[in-house]
Amino acid sequence: MQKNVLVVGAGIGGLATALRLSKKGYKVEIIEKNSQAGGRLNQLKKDGFTFDVGPSFFSMSYEFTEFAKECNIELPFKYVELDPLYSVNFNKSSKTYHLFKDIHKLSEQFADVEVDFEKKVEKYLKKCQGLFEDTVDLVIKQNFNSMLHYVITLMRVNPMHLPVLFRNFWQQVDRHFESPEAKQIISLVAFFLGRTPFDTSAIYSLLSYTEFKHDGYYNVEGGMYKIVEGIIDELKKENVTITYNTEIVDFNSNGKKLNYLIDQNNKQWNSDIILINSDAAVFRGSVFKRPKFSIENLDKKEWTMGYLTIYIGVKCKLPQVNHHNYYLGNNFKDYAQEVHKNPDSLEKPYYYVNVLSKYNAECAPEGCESLFFVCPVPDLRHKPNWDDRDKIVDSIISDFSERIGKDIAPEIISKTVFTPLEWEMQFNLHRGSGLGLSHSMMQIGAFRPKNYDEVFKNIFYVGASTIPGAGLPMAIISSKLAFERIETFSEKK
Ligand SMILES: Cc1cc2nc3c(=O)[nH]c(=O)nc-3n(C[C@H](O)[C@H](O)[C@H](O)COP(=O)(O)OP(=O)(O)OC[C@H]3O[C@@H](n4cnc5c(N)ncnc54)[C@H](O)[C@@H]3O)c2cc1C
């Protein structure tokens, strides 16, 4: 008999699993808190400009092509390889580093700061490759049925990687390079995981291999939101409906069996199977009221940083600015050790700028440019008050203007700002943490909130705070792992 599935949340994790399930014959319906699908992978259209709200590129493109193949569809969007991957500029320096995938070209950028860079980076990337190849299929793309299963799996990882377990990302990079420039630039990728090189395990240096050697980075023709639009088109073909402006806030059960979920208008929702795409830790606490996930207990966990994001439309072209750019200060170590808890670090912020209109002319009016700034900031535990947001935003705009040699302030014709307060309110992210639970050793694998519910047998989870973790390719892998759980559950029924 055809089984019904209710998906709570239309983020990329929820949408991708909904497509996998509907293609397998399940009758799927989705409910979403906001008036638009996509979750953090969202789009803002304002004053004639189009902005990507969250992700502006992705790695592991083959996860998307495999997903399309498994759903028996053509990939519903076009992705474009980035080369250079991104550019990096240090404060008070006229030099911009372009991070090319071609290692020889990359090495030329470091010729005046790091002796034998090419030899060193090849050696470093070889180690990263080993880590990637020995863990990705075995540990990252796996459902674990118990802690024992997880531990036994870890014991199968090549023991040569054992020392890496005891180092952080910075220490790993520090073993290979001498110049501050090389160390800082190579370890920047730790920020993509929502933390810093000083509190990210060296295991994640495997990301250096994914960015430089294995697959690189991509963005999407027409903007990242084409991913969401493409998947929704496919869902429509399978008669999957999305009900917007519907937030699950409560539940009813007999203790062991869920009777129904309850939305903000007291409407009851139930189904044979329920998949939660809302943050897996937050939902267990705020909706299921599980003490282990109370606000106080969530506050004790390690979360990824908050983000201050700024969406700016300017009435001029900026040929001197590349597509993906990092603007760093001159106090990397102090900054990185402070940024997630000390609001004073925002006096000299580090930030990322993406120019969507550079290769997508339709995303800005003629002669204009659409800019997206991301600045890592403390989450709301450490900086609950954002009354100073305009001052911080102005300081970023002024720093950026100085670095690119053009004052953009008088050119601004559209401006929208999200602080962690907006991120928390809009997407139910704990204390505005941008990527969800961090990827510390005690919060990954079998230690991460599970993708099946501890109490209700017909409830499953997908997305950034369950396995495997944050980022778009991980959400696609998460959808596969949740799908497999649901299939196993259905077969037993
Ligand atoms: C500023 C920023 C930049 C990023 N940049 C990148 C990048 O460049 N590349 C990359 O790969 N990743 C990036 N990420 C990470 C990426 O966006 C996320 O990992 C991914 O989008 C998470 O998808 P998800 O499905 O897990 O969750 P979400 O996108 O959060 O989706 C969950 C959905 O559930 C809904 N919801 C929540 N609670 C309820 C409820 N109770 N009832 C109903 N609906 C509910 C939410 O509204 C949301 O739509 C970035 C994130 C941020 C914040």
403-413 confidence digits (pLDDT tens): 999 999 999 99
Reduce the DSSP state of residue 160 to 3 states and report it: helix
Q: What CA–CA distance (Å, rounded) separates 469 from 17?
A: 15
Q: Tokens 């090319």: give the residue.
A: 100
Name the residue of 58, 85, 277, 293 whose CB sits within 8 Å of the most ligand 1 atoms, as the mutation to test its pocket: 277
* Beta carbons of 227 and 220 less than 8 angstroms apart: yes
Q: What is the token pair recorded at 170?
A: 């910075």
Name the residue of 40, 251, 289 whose CB sits within 8 Å of the most ligand 1 atoms, as the mutation to test its pocket: 40
Query: DSSP character for 449?
Result: P
Neighbours of 74 (CB within 10 A): 10
Distance of CA 349 to the CA centre of its chain: 20
Please name every residue paired with 261 in a beta bridge, in sequence order, or none if there are none: 251, 269
**Measuring from atom 53 of ligand 1, which residue has the nearest CA?**
434
Phi, psi of 156 (to 5 degrees): -85, -10
Pick the closest to residue 257 from 272, 267, 277 (CA basis). Answer: 272
* Beta carbons of 416 and 311 less than 8 angstroms apart: yes
32-65 in b/e form (b: 16+ CB < 10 A) is bbbebbbbbbbbbeeeebbbbbbbbbbbbbebbe
**Measuring from atom 49 of ligand 1, which residue has the nearest CA?**
39
Indicate the pTM of the whole model: 0.96
Q: What CA–CA distance (Å, rounded) separates 170 from 131?
A: 16
Neighbours of 140 (CB within 10 A): 18
Nearest ligand 1 atom to alpha carbon 59: 11
Distances, alpha carbon 158 to alpha carbons 153, 161, 259, in Å? 11, 6, 46
CATH architecture for the domain at 306-427: 2-Layer Sandwich (3.30)
What are the strands, taking DSSP E only, across 16-166? 27-31, 43-46, 49-52, 79-81, 87-90, 96-98
Please name every residue paired with 412 in a beta bridge, in sequence order, or none if there are none: 314
Residues in contact with ligand 1 by the CB-under-6-Å rule are 8-14, 31-34, 39-41, 54-58, 247-248, 277-278, 307, 309, 374, 427-428, 434-435, 463-464, 470-472, 475
Superfamily of domain 4-43+53-78+220-300+436-492: FAD/NAD(P)-binding domain (3.50.50.60)
Q: What CA–CA distance (Å, rounded) separates 46 from 311?
A: 10
* Beta carbons of 204 and 444 less than 8 angstroms apart: no
Q: What is the token pair recorded at 61?
A: 């493109």
* pLDDT at residue number 94: 87
Residues in the chain, pLDDT under 70: 346
* Beta carbons of 158 and 182 less than 8 angstroms apart: no
* pLDDT at residue number 482: 98
Burial class (CB in 10 A: 0-12, 13-18, 19+), 152: exposed
Pick the closest to residue 297 from 421, 434, 144, 437 (CA basis). Answer: 437
Please name every residue paired with 328 in a beta bridge, in sequence order, or none if there are none: 90
Enumerate the domain spans of the chain.
4-43+53-78+220-300+436-492, 104-215, 306-427
Q: What single letter denotes the amino acid at residue 319?
A: P
* pLDDT at residue number 35: 98
Q: What is the token pair recorded at 271?
A: 């189904």
**Measuring from atom 19 of ligand 1, which residue has the nearest CA?**
471
pLDDT tens profile 218-244: 999 999 999 999 999 999 999 999 999
* pLDDT at residue number 344: 76
452 CA distance to ligand 1 middle (Å):
19
* Beta carbons of 116 and 123 less than 8 angstroms apart: no
**Measuring from atom 50 of ligand 1, which residue has the nearest CA?**
55
* Beta carbons of 375 and 308 less than 8 angstroms apart: yes
Neighbours of 93 (CB within 10 A): 13
- Of 2.160.20, 1.10.405, 1.10.10, 3.10.450, the CATH number of 104-215 is 1.10.405
